[in-house]
A and B are shown apart, each in its own frame.
Chain A
Amino acid sequence: MNGLVILIPVALGLGLAGLAAFFWSVRSGQYEDLDGAAMRVLLDDEDEAQK
Chain B
Amino acid sequence: MKATVFAVPGMRCAGCIAKLENGLSGTSGIAAARANFSAKRVTVTHDPALDEPSLKAIIADIGFDAEPLPNDLVEDAGAESRMLVRAMAVAGFAAMNIMLLSVSVWSGAEGATRDMFHWLSALIAIPTIAYSGRPFFASALAALRRGRTNMDVPITIGVLLAAGLSLFETAISGPHAYFDGVVMLLFFLLTGRWLDSVMRDRARGGVTQLLRQTARGAYVILEDGRQRWHAAQALAPGMRMHVAAGERLAADGVIDEGASEFDLSLLTGESAPQKRGPGDAVLAGTLNLGAPVVVRATAVGADTAIADIARLMETAGQSRSRYVRVADRAARWYAPAVHTLAALSFAGWMLAGAGWHHSLIIAVAVLIITCPCALGLAVPAAQIVAAGALMRRGVLVKDGSALERLSEVSSAAFDKTGTLTLGRPTLVNPDAVRAADAPVLLALASASRHPLAEAIRRHFDAAGVAPALLADVTETPGEGVRARYRGHQVRLVRPEASRDTGMASRFVAGDTDVLLRFEDALRPDARATLQQLDALGIGATILSGDRTEAVAETAAALGIEAVAALTPAGKLGLIRAMAEDGERVLMVGDGLNDGPALAAGHVSMAPGSASDVGQNAADAVFLGDSLSPVAAAVLAARRTMAVVRQNFALAIGYNVIAVPLAVMGYVTPLIAALAMSGSSVIVIANALRLRNAAE
Contacts and interface: CB of A to CB of B under 8 A. Distances in A.
A8 interface: yes
A33 B36 contact: yes
Interface string A17-51: 01100110010000011111001101100010000
Contacts of B172: none
B69 interface: no
A31 to B, nearest CB: 8
Nearest to A23: B86
B89 A33 contact: no
Contact of B82 (A26, A36, A39): A26
A36 B38 contact: yes
Contact of A8 (B89, B93, B120): B120
A6 interface: no
A18 B82 contact: no
A19 B89 CA distance: 7
A36 B100 contact: no
Contacts of B17: 36, 39-40, 43
A39 B38 CA distance: 10
B380 to A, nearest CB: 19
B473 interface: no
Given A39-B13, A40-B17, A11 B37 contact: no
A35 B38 contact: yes
B35 A36 contact: yes
Nearest to A41: B14
Contact of B93 (A4, A15, A26, A40): A15
A25 to B, nearest CB: 10
B37 A36 contact: yes
Contact of A35 (B37, B82, B120): B37
Chain A interface category by residue count = 20 to 34
B362 to A, nearest CB: 31
A34 B36 CA distance: 9
Contacts, number: 48
B97 A32 contact: no
Interface hub of B15, B82, B90, B93 (most chain A Cβ within 10 A): B93
Contacts of A23: 86, 89
A22 B87 CA distance: 12
Contacts of A34: 38
Contact of A11 (B38, B82, B85, B97): B97
Nearest to A12: B97
Contacts of B692: none
B85 A43 contact: no
Contacts of A1: 113
Contacts of A32: 36, 38-39
B122 to A, nearest CB: 13
B21 to A, nearest CB: 9
Contacts of B15: 43
Contact of A19 (B22, B90, B120): B90
B432 interface: no
A23 to B, nearest CB: 7
Contacts of A47: 22
B283 to A, nearest CB: 39
B181 to A, nearest CB: 19
Interface in B609-667: none
Contacts of A43: 14-15, 17-18
Interface string B134-177: 00000000000000000000000000000000000000000000
Interface string B79-92: 00010011001100
Interface in B237-258: none
A32 B17 CA distance: 15
Interface string B28-50: 00000001111100000000000
A50 B86 CA distance: 41
Contacts of A39: 13-14, 17, 37
B548 to A, nearest CB: 48
Nearest to B34: A33
Contacts of A22: 89
Contact of B36 (A8, A18, A36): A36
A19 B96 CA distance: 12
Nearest to A1: B113
A4 B17 CA distance: 52
A26 B36 contact: no
Nearest to A34: B38
Nearest to A22: B89
Contacts of A40: 14, 17
Interface in B325-362: none
B7 to A, nearest CB: 14
Nearest to B82: A26
Nearest to A42: B14
A26 B90 CA distance: 13
Contacts of B96: 15
Contacts of B39: 32-33
A41 to B, nearest CB: 8
Contacts of B14: 39-40, 42-43
B353 to A, nearest CB: 40
B97 A26 contact: no
Contacts of A15: 93, 96-97
5 contacts: A11-B97, A15-B96, A32-B36, A33-B39, A39-B13
Interface of A: 1, 4, 8, 11-12, 15-16, 18-19, 22-23, 26, 32-36, 39-40, 42-43, 47
Given A12-B124, A22-B89, A33-B38, 8 more contacts: A8-B120, A16-B93, A19-B90, A26-B86, A33-B36, A36-B36, A39-B37, A43-B18
Per CB-CB distance, the 10 closest pairs between chain A and chain B, nearest first, are A36-B37, A39-B14, A42-B14, A35-B38, A33-B36, A19-B93, A33-B38, A35-B37, A43-B18, A22-B89
